[in-house]
Structure 1
Amino acid sequence: MRNPSMVRSGPQRRLRDSRRLTRPIGVIGTLSNGGGEPTATSSGFELISGPLINLKNMHYQSTTVWHGSVLIVTKPGQEKPQLRLRQLGSMDGQTGSSQPQTVEGLKLYEDPEKAFWRFSLAVPVEKFEARWEYDIPGLYNGSGDQVQAPWEFVVPAEEQSMRIMFHSCNGFSVGTDMNAWVGPNLWNDVMRVHGEKPFHVMVGGGDQIYNDGIRVDGPLKPWTAIGNPHKRRNHDFNNQMRSDCDDYYYANYVRWYNTEPFRAANGRIPQVNIWDDHDIIDGFGSYTDHFMKCAVFRGIGGVAFKYYCLFQHHMAPPKSTFTTDAPQTMHAVNGTSGVDPRQVENTYVLENQVEDDSWITGKRPGPYVEERSRSLYMRFGKRIAFMGLDARTERTRHQVNYNDTYDLIFERLQREIAAADGDIKHLVVLLGVPIAYPRLAWLENILTSPVIAPIRLLNKRFGVAGGLFNEFDGQVDLLDDLDDHYTARQHKRERKMLIQRLQELARSNSMRVTILGGDVHLAAIGRFYSNPKLNLAGENDHRFIVNVVSSAITNKPPPKAVANLLARRNKIHHLDRDCDETLMPIFDKQPGGQEKSAAWNKVTMPSRNYAILTEVTAPSATSSDGILETESAKLDKLPKDGHAPLHKGEVGAGSNHRAADGISVQSGMYGGLDVSIRVEIDPQDRSAATEGYGFSIPPLMATEGAPRTGHRLSLHSRRSQPSRPSTAQ
């Protein structure tokens, strides 16, 4: 790769954010002016943040090599670091034959304050589940002490699928009472379970960090305070504001990613992430179009994308971002902002980097970010494929993604599934928000009705009902959250198309699809399934798609009254004439006996939580407790609707199900997935004791006789068959 030179001149900029935990950074050593990367005379590396370990891919051509990366952030001007990697053997003491490796660091980005280094890992997949450890010689912290190492991670065996931990909403909303919600406690439980039965991958469903404070105590505070909406929309986003916002996002990432016990997990469980609105700012993409197009929103979208690339994907960012005082940055060139010479002054950015082949890159920039979307595809071991949808870069109030982006995604999925030659039995799809979830159309109707207009006028003139309206576009504050949902009326058609395409993909490849979604700060299990009149058992139903809703791992949950309201809206809905949907009863008891919701509410749990998905690779002993006994077992009779168990894996769902602990994998759902939701009992308990709730997802058995959906699977199609009357769509 060609590496441009970096010239250092002029005073070094200091971070303006007073919350920064690291000292201002100076150049160490002597820099080269000869056109290559800078060199240095220092020995050792002062660590600012990291290490962060990511999963990259197990290619369809071969699942015999595991690919990942490790990222560290150091002070600038230091010599190239190295990572030492060695295999420790199997989980049960077997010794591997792999030789130790030394991996050179690749500099992704450097400015006068920090340098980002990536170490690309490629390790052989053994016949056994293997433990690996790595360290980076010479790392020391700001006080001069050596950084404790090494760090360990686990790679699945060649015949094993990955054990998945899923989380979302890993941060706090502005105004949260931090005395009531004590830090990211649940990461203690994550690490405890990881110690008993390790996770191979940690899936972040969006909002890995909350950057909303940028408008409260950050550089957007004066802009937010502008009372005239017209002046606010027309406000410049010049290079000074960009620089201030850059400092804020960087400092907030360092602060949060250095917070224990989240930090401990980052270095030991390989991550796969997509972003959502709080990774940028609350509601980004879902405000009114004319306001979303304002320069400030477009600008912070670009700056947030920069640090999302670095911290969450270990990729070099664009060379510069949108500003109004550099016309060449105001329109995307080849899918990204043009280069502003001021923004790359005294700065090194890796050029001509190899594109991450896990990414499915959109064809054109988003409407409010001068970047193309980055969805994800990768193998999670032998039999599980994964697709993460970037549902934020292209989002508007009326769309989640471009239609051609869906085409790119499904073309990639079909190509990868075909190349896997029948190995892929499960497709796990990650969405930023739930897709099988109670409708709130009645609330949308109220909040957009003429009755709100007089209250809005009083708010604008006298500040009446200030908490009801947001600071940005003056709309009711809840509307951006409601508009984010796939179940919002303006996303109904797109939602239907996406589910039908996934169901057809499942049918044509005899592959079970399961969806992960977060965002809503409570736990729930939604399901799509064939209308009972079709007489399809869950094991044979290609329309049967579970939506595991797990949120938040850190943010506070909604009041129990909200969870109960959602539970009352848990009707039988009809996606189309052949497919129904509803939430599954699973919360048979209050966690640890502490009241979180009404006793009758079995479908929504307003308590912090995360989820675990584990493939069941061997049948368990015969049981008589209602759990699946053999891979071909079925219910005595099919249920009349989705309020009842749809297959044996849902019988007894809850705290007594064999999948509940997330560790034992004894449900007997051979070839399927055991799912556990780990729910926090007491937010004041720093040890993070949890209650587990479990159920199982069956594999998709032979579907040769299953009828096609009968729908043309395109967002713009007018040929989809009409739905029968329903409670809502």
Structure 2
Amino acid sequence: MAAANGDHYTNGNMAGATVNGTPAYAAQREHSLDPASRPNGPSTGQNIPQQANGIGAGPQIVSTSHELEVICGPLLNYRRMSDEHGSNPIWHGSVLVVTTPGSVPEGLWLSRSGGQNGLLNGHSERSFNGNKLYEDPRKAFWQFSIDLPFQDEESLWEYSIARMVDARSKSPVTKPTTFTVPSKHESMRIMFHSCNGFSVGTDEEAWSGPALWNDVLRVHAQKPFHVMIGGGDQIYNDSVRVKGPLKPWTDISNPRKRREYPFGDKLRADCDDYYFDNYTTWYGQVPFSTANGQIPQLNIWDDHDIIDGFGSYTDHFMRSPVFRGIGGVAHKYYLLFQHHLPPPVSTYSSDAPQTTGGHSKTTPADAAQLKDAYVMKATHEDPSYIIGKKPGPYVEECSRSMYCQLGKRIAFLGLDARTERTRHQINYPETYELIFNHASQQIAASHGAIKHLVLLLGVPIAYPRLQWLENILQSPLIAPIRLLNKRFGFAGGFFNQFDGGVDLMDDLDDHYTAHQHKKERKALILRLQDLAKKQSIRISILGGDVHLAAMGRFYSKPDLNIAAEHDWRYMPNIISSAITNKPPPQAVANLLARRNKIHHLDEHTDETLLELFDKNPGAGEPGVKPKSAANNHATMPSRNYAIITESHAHAATANGINGNANGNSKISDFVPPKNPREPLHMGEMHAGTTHAAANGITPTGLAGTDGLDVCIRVEKNPQDREAHTEGYGFSIPALEIGGYKGQGETW
């Protein structure tokens, strides 16, 4: 790898190779970013040697074009920081382009915009070699691992890959290729989203497509995001069973025949084509494609990245060849597109017995799949990943959770809650041990520098109970309707076409609040409380999936008399979903709001939703319809995304850091409410459209020196293709344990 701090992989590409004695890449150059000024790449028609550290010979295709024919991309990812607690922290990320096979990129050039202050190690720009992750006769994936130093001030960086043309139109690729990095004294401005796609049968035109990304870009232009966190369902692959290669399988009415249906090499190849085509179509669609080349992504997957409900159907059905097969194919493209990582050498196929054994940590090689294909072999994992010790029950690969630091004071922990999921578990116990041990060690190593842990779970964990609905759907009352459905197709939309169960049950089984996950949920929350208390760190949870906006909170019971600023049990759950998919009906959101009880996790901890929504978005504006009932202030069924930022600006000055910090001096002035659905601290006062954080731009200073501001931007009118939004704000205080002892508490 050419990066000065490169520690991802040994080069799996053309780095160091020669063509007729000429280096295929220049290591480092001082010249303009104008591609026309750069040396030419390998000559047309040259025989490019294959990589030494991969598997498979590849398709042996040599491009006859002098241009780099791009099918999809470039896509920008953030990975982590190194020397994060030192004086010279380093930003690490990657860029991915998908090209036609045989195309070889000349390299990626990176520079800081803005004159000589942008010099990198004495050079006006640096170049990075490309790693070929995967290639077959249809496409090649090229990844560039990049790194750069944090500066004393926020900095704008430009990356460039020479001679990119659209593989279809042959016109130049003009996608924006700049991104912004915060100063070394600040944490990142975070954009959080989930459910970035449409469920099967949705009228996409009626919902203006992925229009809310227009609002993301407007805000980004006003004050740039440093990272965007994808909470799962970054793409919806469900139509593979409706208009894709799984339709004949879905149409089989006999459940036993459907379970036994083979996932042979032909079906595997057809599904491989479907998932690839769906990714390139969705990731190439404006305005989403405009965002993902200039805001670094950090993603965890969920069921729709595979197929609706994956992992939450009955065990014997989930172990069927088709489910195991599409799990493997989806995992392959999840790693490539969303993590810029090489996939396993093969995926499950019932025609290849070695791939069906379920005994190793990854799927073994299959000669049929490697014919005319090349897969890069990684030498070691990036340190941002926490890899499970054994493969999932239905995806023959290990879980891949993530820990990294988002600037000076915020850490991020993303749980892979899909790879190990079954109907009765979300993650293995040993995986929780790995995750908590790693996070504890990393936070402790900061010696108090990290003030906030942002935890991504994907599915909400502080959310109204739906046990009553589960009981109804699983009661004997449903049996006669199921019989009529099986024999005559009665109530066809009520039952899924996979295992014949009630269609809504897989969604309910996904929830942490589902009855079969209650013990696991409670154990997770208690471990988070213990981590917060021992490390004196505030934990805030991100959740999506449910297609509406809300804000749940865990907190110490009122009779313990612990102010939220001192309460390690106070953990907000920011619920933001969907950025693209349609919301649930108003009646469902109103019902959930009515179910917003005060729940008791244990003898010390309560939970409930904050009544955040003081008005409907765009209320009173022409053409805008109410999204929820006038008495529903807890759930908002309208498309949305969230902005999370530090509550204070920590700017560099000649004398050090000027934080404009006033601490939490007003704690004693706050009187806790009798109704915990109302504000529990100063930062929740006036939560909603009148809160200072509602614009998502200016730090409010309301959450103390190290607190966070949160804005949930909610779509006003789905027919508005520019997707104008209304902001709802609140703040989250940092945790200040030292010197405080609550009633009945011991230290």
Q: Work out which of the residue numbers 416, 423, 434 in structure 2 matches 1:397.
A: 423
Q: Work out which of the residue numbers 277, 296, 300 in structure 1 matches 2:326.
A: 300
Which residue number corresponds to residue 336 of structure 2? 310
Change (3 A) 1:710 1:404: farther
Q: Secondary structure at the match of 2:692?
A: coil
8 Å contact from structure 2 (residues 78, 298) kept in 1:
yes
Change (3 A) 1:703 1:437: farther
- Superposed, 1:431-580 pairs within 5 Å as 431-580=457-606
Change (3 A) 1:150 1:466: closer
1:262 aligns with 2:288: yes
Change (3 A) 1:273 1:367: same
For residue 644 of structure 1, report the CA deviation from its aligned partner.
1.9
Instruction: Specify every segment of 5 or more residues in structure 2 that has no aligned partner in the other structure, as ranges.
Output: 1-9, 15-43, 620-624, 652-660
For residue 667 of structure 1, report the CA deviation from its aligned partner.
4.3
Change (3 A) 1:705 1:150: closer
For residue 178 of structure 1, report the CA deviation from its aligned partner.
2.1
The separation in 1 between residues aligned to 2:50 and 2:701, in whole angstroms, is 63
- Superposed, 1:328-367 pairs within 5 Å as 328-332=354-358, 334-367=360-393
Residues 428-456 of structure 1: CA distance to partner in whole angstroms, max 9, x if unpaired?
A: 00011000000010000000001101110
For residue 640 of structure 1, report the CA deviation from its aligned partner.
2.9
For residue 382 of structure 1, report the CA deviation from its aligned partner.
0.5
Question: What letter corresponds to residue 188 of structure 2 in structure 1?
Answer: M
Which residue number corresponds to residue 723 of structure 2? 688
Which residue number corresponds to residue 644 of structure 2? 613
Q: Work out which of the residue numbers 721, 726, 734 in structure 2 matches 1:699.
A: 734
Instruction: Specify every segment of 5 or more residues in structure 1 that has no aligned partner in the other structure, as ranges.
Output: 6-27, 621-627, 712-729
Question: What letter corresponds to residue 327 of structure 1 in structure 2?
Answer: P
For residue 34 of structure 1, report the CA deviation from its aligned partner.
6.6
Moved more, 60-69 or 452-461: 60-69
Residues 463-504 of structure 1: CA distance to partner in whole angstroms, max 9, x if unpaired?
A: 111111000000000000000000001000000011111111
Q: Work out which of the residue numbers 184, 187, 196 in structure 2 matches 1:170.
A: 196
The separation in 2 between residues aligned to 1:252 and 1:49, in whole angstroms, is 11
Which residue number corresponds to residue 623 of structure 1? none
Which residue number corresponds to residue 597 of structure 1? 628
- Superposed, 1:284-295 pairs within 5 Å as 284-295=310-321
For residue 631 of structure 1, report the CA deviation from its aligned partner.
2.2
Which residue number corresponds to residue 36 of structure 2? none
Q: Work out which of the residue numbers 650, 657, 680 in structure 2 matches 1:646.
A: 680
8 Å contact from structure 2 (residues 238, 308) kept in 1:
yes
Which residue number corresponds to residue 56 of structure 1? 79
The separation in 1 between residues aligned to 2:702 and 2:250, in whole angstroms, is 55
Residues 47-73 of structure 1: CA distance to partner in whole angstroms, max 9, x if unpaired?
A: 100010000111356461000000000
Q: Secondary structure at the match of 1:128?
A: coil
Q: Secondary structure at the match of 1:132?
A: strand
For residue 179 of structure 1, report the CA deviation from its aligned partner.
3.1
Change (3 A) 1:709 1:513: farther
The separation in 2 between residues aligned to 1:295 and 1:256, in whole angstroms, is 27
Question: What letter corresponds to residue 163 of structure 2 in structure 1?
Answer: G
Question: What letter corresponds to residue 654 of structure 1 in structure 2?
Answer: G
Question: What letter corresponds to residue 513 of structure 1 in structure 2?
Answer: I
Residues 598-641 of structure 1: CA distance to partner in whole angstroms, max 9, x if unpaired?
A: 01100000000000000122599xxxxxxx98522124322234
For residue 684 of structure 1, report the CA deviation from its aligned partner.
1.0
1:120 aligns with 2:145: yes
Q: Secondary structure at the match of 1:376?
A: strand
**Alignment identity in percent?**
61
Question: What letter corresponds to residue 497 of structure 2 in structure 1?
Answer: E
Q: Secondary structure at the match of 1:95?
A: helix
1:47 aligns with 2:82: no
The separation in 1 between residues aligned to 2:367 and 2:742, in whole angstroms, is 59
1:321 aligns with 2:355: no
Which residue number corresponds to residue 720 of structure 1? none
The separation in 1 between residues aligned to 2:176 and 2:238, in whole angstroms, is 34
Which residue number corresponds to residue 715 of structure 1? none
Change (3 A) 1:572 1:110: same
Which residue number corresponds to residue 231 of structure 2? 205
The separation in 2 between residues aligned to 1:3 and 1:187, in whole angstroms, is 35
Q: Work out which of the residue numbers 93, 101, 117 in structure 2 matches 1:95.
A: 117
8 Å contact from structure 1 (residues 619, 669) kept in 2:
no
1:676 aligns with 2:702: no
8 Å contact from structure 1 (residues 531, 580) kept in 2:
yes
The separation in 2 between residues aligned to 1:31 and 1:237, in whole angstroms, is 36
Which residue number corresponds to residue 31 of structure 2? none
Change (3 A) 1:243 1:29: farther
8 Å contact from structure 1 (residues 153, 270) kept in 2:
yes
Residues 511-548 of structure 1: CA distance to partner in whole angstroms, max 9, x if unpaired?
A: 00000000000000000000001000010000000000
Change (3 A) 1:271 1:632: same
Change (3 A) 1:128 1:190: same
1:423 aligns with 2:446: no
Q: Work out which of the residue numbers 219, 222, 234 in structure 2 matches 1:193.
A: 219
Residues 658-685 of structure 1: CA distance to partner in whole angstroms, max 9, x if unpaired?
A: 0001001124323200000000001111
Residues 255-278 of structure 1: CA distance to partner in whole angstroms, max 9, x if unpaired?
A: 000000000000000000000000
- Superposed, 1:220-231 pairs within 5 Å as 220-231=246-257
8 Å contact from structure 2 (residues 560, 742) kept in 1:
no
- Superposed, 1:367-386 pairs within 5 Å as 367-386=393-412
For residue 419 of structure 1, report the CA deviation from its aligned partner.
1.2
Which residue number corresponds to residue 665 of structure 1? 699
Change (3 A) 1:596 1:120: same
